[in-house]
Amino acid sequence: GEIDQLMDLEIDPSKIIYANPVKFRSHIRHAASVGVHLMTFDCYKELLKISECDPEARLVVRIRPVCESNVYESLGNKFGCSVEEACRLVRKARDLKLTVEGVSFHVGYACTDPTCFTYAIEAASRVFTEVSRIGVKMTLLDIGGGYPGSTVTKDILRD
């Protein structure tokens, strides 16, 4: 449904990342049919589903953030894989003739510690470095969400 909403808004399908952690085969095929080929994955099972349903897929491996403190809701225990597993998955994707374009992470909702992003970017950098040694050149870093911030009331804005 979200992909269809974006298509109705005439968003370029090449700019859309299908990032649902668990994708139904029918949804992968639908995304591919409308030109959405950029997808995240964080396990071998998802990689195989994507390979079967969209051989033109362009992939982003989702890593688990290493900083899980100071967030309203951590996602690390639900989504993503370790740096080591990400490197293994990129190798498997290459063996399946799929292109992995980059790394994705989400530190969690309402992060209050910006260093969580630093740690996650460092982890992503390790993936980029390691897979470059086997000839995989990635160019995309998706830093997810969870950015620190605050709510400002109208009274504060008037002063």
- Architecture per CATH, 2-158: Alpha-Beta Barrel (3.20)
Radius of gyration of the chain (CA): 17
Reported as a single tens digit per residue, the pLDDT across 111-157 is 777 777 888 899 999 999 999 999 999 999 998 766 665 554 444 44
Backbone angle region of 89, left / alpha / beta, with phi > 0 → left and psi within -120 to 50 → alpha = alpha
Q: How many CB atoms lie within 10 A of CB 41?
A: 27
pLDDT above 60 (res 33) = yes
The secondary structure of residue 78, as a DSSP letter, is T
Beta bridge partners of 60: 40, 102
> What pTM was computed for the model?
0.84
**3-class SS at 65?**
coil
Strands (E) across 4-77 are located at 17-18, 38-41, 58-62
Q: How many CB atoms lie within 10 A of CB 155?
A: 7
Reported as a single tens digit per residue, the pLDDT across 52-96 is 999 999 999 999 886 656 554 555 556 799 999 999 999 999 999
